[in-house]
Chain A
């Protein structure tokens, strides 16, 4: 009566992904009581610590393409390029502006549109109004002009020096098109961590992919972010192709170990004009191809463990045991902007007539999980899914009674969920007091036990379990008035298991 799904456990030293679409906002109040975890250095909300640069010095990516066509084509479809074009980013940045009275400044665009930030573009600027340079996003020359990070690692605190010198993995200046210097920094995890760790007032991290990495088994073994996210197979250390890194006037340069510049992570474009603004058909094909790599990434990130079902004699129900295993040694799953990321377990129990008699992890009519954010749950149309296992982080916000003067007497107890006053969940992290993680530790196996009712051993037909992933929840898009994008979301099936009762 027990069936083990035929998964292949992939042996990997894996990394999930540090996301690109997240936006961050410090909710500041000049006289606010600062609460929360302040064990780390409190970062500055200043985003662009650098002097203004002559952004004309940044080379147009199309110029790079002349000699580095493969790298350009990979980058062209990447989320690094999509970062300043995302409508979700635009809407979240605008929301952050409102909720922080503008204090957020260019905190978000410092990573999403670094050259635009250098140009002095306002933080509320939307994709349609961005300059051509700004629209290049995390461009070839931006990364290859970075020399180091400044101040605390994270929040886009990178130091760029656009010039004729390009920093990379090789010392050579074989072709002479530009000077090349080998840079330890650009090859380091810290290069990635400079934007994939985001600290927000009042001392919470809303993105901590790098922090997770720094404490991970992968880091202990010397595996870098780039090893898993710039190889031939997303999410694992994989063999890399050998070939010329540049072709100048038809003449190939010397063979190199090549890095993939599509930086595959769990995000993907939600606009049909990406990556080719004037060719929707080609864009659709490119997005479909990209999704196959996202699928591979997620399958390399996690899997379901053994599935078992137990019935008590003469009982109208039973228990389902299953586990979720992280295959990733590099960080938690999910990672990145984890209050957006949904990874959940769906379970259905059917009777012999094929009727679903119990379920969890199913979606309501608007495509949301039946959790606290579901509008259908809030309005009473459907019941709260009390058995739901969702590894998404929660943005916890607190309120509490005040004293006779209308001010709070002490802040010490209020960071605690369920502490004095009360807590509720906010959709956006910049409205929150704490981001409470529920993600799976690197290589952790999380054991799950579900109790179900409605069918006994005599009438049960089958039990199905699935592990799903979605990078954005529909309720978030609707809260941003981006309803039209909901249908573009992909629910990725990471793994499935089932038991069929004869």
Chain B
């Protein structure tokens, strides 16, 4: 059980969260809240209003998890974890129960993508998306310039799927609301490939697993930096406030609904990239992109059923 302030006040001013919610509702951590995207009107109208986040309780901030990886995949056992943060699009922090799953230890590489191309299941990645850095094998760089549909199709072709946002976050930060994937240390260029300051750690994408001793609690490499990673969820900045607490999979956008807050326009991306700042290296940081976007800093990894 944990307490979450969820008032009925008006919709937040755009981009800002009003922490004074007025009322407090106790929410069972395992309760399956109703999704705002499947309302009685057939999903064509946004629910009114979204609750506010209010004060929260959460985990202790430790990177807790048991690495169990084999054949390039890591196992994440069933159970709950603390998801979210006090950020306006990631609040409230809440306990989320997930079924067990496997997830790639590394991001999908150019080499792996080439195998898919050879099998006739994928189109070649644009050549310009490779980065030619000394001492970094181009074939082991994460494949980028892959839009969401292509990434999803690839995962299906190898017997998996894109991870849900919740799965990605649990795999990246463990169960106890850790800020960073690797533990308590602040980000540095020995831990991730990102934009340390106005300058960069590296001049582009580097090979996966470069930071050999840096893993998430469940054994994943490179969840932070190098390339953004697509996940399966549609993006809604207020989704966490109404999301179910068991195996959430993001807003239901099957009707193609477009709400005022931008939901169903974009898919969630996670983890930041070589050209993004420290803010994106936090294991709970969310971002989003049009599914058709295929930037040179956006890759993915796949998840698999238990």
Contact = CB atoms under 8 A, between A and B. Distances in A.
B272 interface: yes
Contact of A124 (B262, B273, B292): B262
B275 interface: yes
A125 interface: yes
Contacts of A405: 188, 190
A222 to B, nearest CB: 38
Contacts of A124: 262, 266, 288
B128 A399 contact: no
Interface residues of A, number: 54
Contact of B199 (A120, A201, A433, A479): A433
Contact of A411 (B197, B228, B261): B197
A328 interface: no
Contacts of B279: 28-30, 101-103
Given A30-B278, A97-B287, A129-B265, A481 B188 contact: no
Given A27-B277, A34-B198, A35-B198, A402 B188 contact: yes
A182 interface: no
B278 A32 contact: yes
Contact of A407 (B126, B188, B200, B204): B188
A399 B203 contact: yes
B199 A29 contact: no
Given A101-B279, A122-B261, A123-B15, A94 B293 contact: yes
A94 B285 CA distance: 17
Contacts, number: 138
B278 A31 contact: yes
A402 to B, nearest CB: 4
Tell me the dominant secondary structure on chain A's binding face. loop
Interface stretch (A230-238, A284-292, A418-426): A418-426
Contacts of B253: none
A266 B5 CA distance: 52
Tell me the dominant secondary structure on chain B's binding face. loop
B232 to A, nearest CB: 18
B198 A106 contact: no
Contact of A95 (B189, B195, B202, B295): B295
Given A30-B279, A98-B228, A479 B188 contact: no
A275 interface: no
A185 interface: no
A97 B279 CA distance: 12
A348 B51 CA distance: 66
B294 interface: yes
Interface residues of B, number: 48
B199 A122 contact: no
A256 interface: no
A444 to B, nearest CB: 30
Contacts of A431: 275
Nearest to B185: A406
Interface string A95-119: 1011111110110000000000000
A35 B199 contact: yes
Nearest to A397: B200
Contacts of B280: 101
B14 interface: yes
B275 A99 contact: yes
A283 B13 CA distance: 37
A242 interface: no
Contact of B201 (A36, A399, A481): A399
A433 B198 CA distance: 6
Contacts of B295: 95, 98, 479, 481
Contacts of B288: 97-98, 124
A31 B282 CA distance: 14
Interface in B196-229: 196-204, 228
A271 B292 CA distance: 19
8 contacts: A29-B196, A101-B272, A124-B288, A129-B262, A375-B127, A399-B199, A433-B199, A479-B296
Given A407-B189, A407-B196, 17 more contacts: A27-B195, A29-B277, A30-B279, A32-B198, A32-B277, A35-B198, A36-B198, A98-B297, A99-B276, A101-B276, A101-B279, A102-B279, A122-B262, A375-B128, A399-B201, A421-B199, A424-B203
Interface of B: 13-15, 89, 126-128, 186, 188-191, 195-204, 228, 258, 261-262, 265-266, 269, 272-273, 275-280, 285, 287-290, 292-297
Interface of A: 27-36, 52, 94-95, 97-103, 105-106, 120-126, 129, 201-202, 375, 378-379, 397-400, 402, 405-408, 411, 414, 421-422, 424, 426, 431, 433, 479, 481
